[in-house]
């Protein structure tokens, strides 16, 4: 079977890059003829503004005001680090994937997609409200004759805006095999088209620890003991909390900063920064840390894969209509380690152990179920 894989290989985010690679690698391991569709569905500024105004106007206005009011601006080093990091992402993609030719628009792609037996989309938040508006990840452009499969595709939010429910109903009905990454996604699909779809694991968990280990150099990037702290959100309290733990444990703080945007709250936060880490170096930093503190879903996953002592904070306000916390809650509940989701108000014992023998057994069983879904969906 010849498969066209649609993923987020082009997104400048460690989690997006690594989960995209993991799904591609898994499909290759299954002996499938798979190529990654070389099309960047990057929204224009006009589309970004339109989506923000339609879906979350208050948050959009608040963000604009916040940027205007900020006195701290990125320095030249920020731009140098970003260029170097982006180049490392590009190099990673070129080495790891077999691509189609590069497509400039969806019309070109629609013609060539007929050369494939199936289109597989996954994973990550490819059905987030803003993506649904752009109408690429909905696969509505794929002809009826081509098999359409979704693996662990996420809506990102616990509930879709009412304005998108009809559109979502229409594109979900056209997809032959659907699986989601969160239980909230399962409920959304059930409510819209009446199908009971499986909750499968994030692609990064499809590859076993030993397979990830083969890609990571034995040499440590940072010598000595340290805390790896990685935050995508700008919560100041989280930084203060980690600094307090650093003092108590006499451990330096290592971080990769300003990944999705420049965050002035990270000025003077970390003792050691590695802002241009490539995706494999990023895992190395997690693997060799004594403790991991994060608000990142995929840093949590790689902490689990590498059996680290980790704690994760909510990145989003629970009351926000754009909250993406559901994926963390779903993952931790599934693996029986919901206590690793903490807040700064909680009094936590950072040396409380994780029963990784139990966690790994749950992952093993979940991986079998996820493998079975892929095999069933992609057989002739």
Is residue 320's pLDDT more than 60? Answer: no
Same domain flag for 159 and 213: no
Q: 77 CB contacts (<8 Å, ≥6 apart)?
A: none
Tell whether 119 and 27 lie within a shared domain: yes
Same domain, 117 and 219: no
| Predicted pLDDT at 69 | 57
Residue 61 scores a pLDDT above 60: no
Which residues on adjacent β-strands are paired with residue 34? 3
Q: Are residues 230 and 294 in the same domain?
A: yes
Task: Please give the torsion angle defined by the CA atoms of residues 124, 128, 132 and 134, in that order, rounded to the nearest 10 degrees.
Answer: -80
Q: Are residues 115 and 233 in the same domain?
A: no
Predicted confidence at residue 130, as pLDDT, reads 86
Question: Using one digit for the tens of pLDDT, what is the confidence trace for 244-303?
Answer: 999 999 999 999 999 988 898 998 999 999 999 999 999 999 999 999 999 999 999 999
| CB 273 within 8 Å of CB 230 | no
Question: What does pLDDT average to over the chain?
Answer: 91
Mean pLDDT, rounded, for 56-85: 72
Backbone angles phi, psi at 354, to 5 degrees: -105, 130
Tokens of residue 280, six digits? 């494999």
255 φ/ψ angles, rounded to the nearest 5 degrees: -155, 160
- How many folded domains does the chain comprise? 2
The pLDDT value recorded for residue 46 is 67
Q: Do 215 and 114 have their domain in common?
A: no
Give the DSSP letter of residue 218: S
At 58, is the pLDDT very low, low, confident or very high (cuts 50, 70, 90)?
low
Regarding whether 222 and 183 lie in a shared domain, the answer is: no
Left (φ > 0), alpha (ψ -120 to 50) or beta: where does 268 sit? left
| Mean pLDDT of the 19-37 span | 96
Question: Which token pair is 302?
Answer: 């790689």
- In this structure, the dihedral spanned by the alpha carbons of residues 123, 128, 132 and 136, taken in order and rounded to 10 degrees, is -30
Please give the radius of gyration of the chain, using alpha carbons only, rounded to the nearest integer. 20
pLDDT at 68 over 70: no
For residue 151, what are the domain limits? 2-57+77-205+368-378
Residue 166 has pLDDT above 90, yes or no: yes
258 — alpha (psi -120 to 50), left (phi > 0) or beta?
left
The Cα–Cα gap between 3 and 120 comes to 7
Q: Are residues 87 and 150 in the same domain?
A: yes
Residues 23, 127 share a domain: yes
Beta sheet of 226-230, edge-to-edge order: 272-273, 252-255, 226-230, 291-294, 309-313, 341-342
CATH number assigned to the domain comprising residue 306: 3.40.50
CATH number of the domain enclosing 87: 3.40.50.2000
pLDDT digits (tens, 9 = 90+) for 329-348: 989 999 999 999 998 887 78
Amino acid 47: pLDDT? 65
Residue 55 in tokens: 């879906």
**198 and 228 both lie in a single domain:** no
Residue 321: per-residue pLDDT = 46
Evaluate whether residue 71 is within a structural domain: no
- Residues 222 and 315 occupy one common structural domain: yes
Q: Is the residue at 63 inside a domain?
A: no
Q: Which residue has the higher pLDDT, 56 or 146?
A: 146
pLDDT digits (tens, 9 = 90+) for 207-254: 999 999 999 988 899 999 999 999 999 999 999 999 999 999 999 999
Residue 72 lies in a domain: no
- For residue 157, being part of any structural domain is answered with yes
Q: Which stretch of DSSP H or E encloses residue 330?
A: helix 326-334
Highest mean pLDDT among 58-62, 174-178, 340-344 belongs to 174-178
Is 260 a member of any domain?
yes
């Amino acid at each position: 079977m010849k498969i066209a894989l649609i993923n987020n290989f082009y997104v400048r985010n460690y989690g997006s890059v690594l989960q995209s690679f993991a799904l591609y690698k898994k499909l290759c391991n299954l002996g499938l003829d798979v190529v990654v569709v070389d099309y960047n569905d990057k929204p224009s500024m006009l589309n970004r503004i339109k989506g923000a105004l339609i879906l979350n106007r208050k948050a959009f206005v608040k963000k604009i005001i916040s940027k205007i009011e900020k006195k701290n601006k990125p320095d030249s080093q920020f731009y140098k680090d970003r260029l170097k990091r982006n180049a490392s992402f590009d190099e990673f993609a070129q080495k790891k994937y077999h691509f189609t030719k590069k497509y400039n628009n969806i019309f070109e792609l629609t013609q060539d997609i007929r050369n494939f037996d199936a289109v597989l989309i996954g994973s990550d938040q490819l059905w987030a409200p803003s993506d649904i508006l752009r109408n690429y990840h909905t696969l509505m452009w794929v002809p009826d004759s081509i098999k359409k499969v979704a693996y662990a595709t996420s809506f990102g939010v616990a509930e879709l805006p009412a304005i998108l429910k009809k559109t979502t109903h229409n594109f979900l009905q056209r997809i032959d095999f659907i699986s989601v990454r969160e239980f909230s996604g399962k409920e959304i699909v059930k409510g819209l088209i009446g199908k009971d779809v499986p909750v499968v694991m994030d692609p990064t968990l499809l590859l076993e620890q030993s397979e990830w280990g083969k890609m990571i150099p034995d040499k440590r990037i940072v010598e000595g003991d340290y805390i790896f702290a990685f935050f995508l959100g700008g919560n100041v309290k989280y930084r203060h909390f980690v600094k307090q733990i650093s003092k108590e444990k006499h451990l330096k703080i290592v971080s990769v900063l300003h990944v999705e945007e420049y965050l002035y709250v990270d000025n003077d936060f970390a003792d050691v920064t590695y802002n241009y880490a490539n995706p494999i170096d990023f895992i190395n930093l997690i693997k060799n840390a004594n403790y991991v503190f994060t608000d990142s879903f995929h840093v949590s996953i790689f902490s689990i894969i590498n059996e680290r002592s980790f704690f994760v904070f909510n990145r989003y306000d629970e009351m926000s209509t754009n909250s993406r916390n559901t994926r963390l809650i779903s993952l931790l509940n599934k693996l029986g380690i919901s206590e690793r989701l903490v807040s700064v108000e909680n009094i936590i014992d950072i040396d409380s152990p994780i029963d990784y023998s139990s966690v790994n057994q749950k992952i093993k069983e979940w991986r079998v179920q996820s493998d079975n879904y892929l095999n069933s969906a992609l057989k002739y």
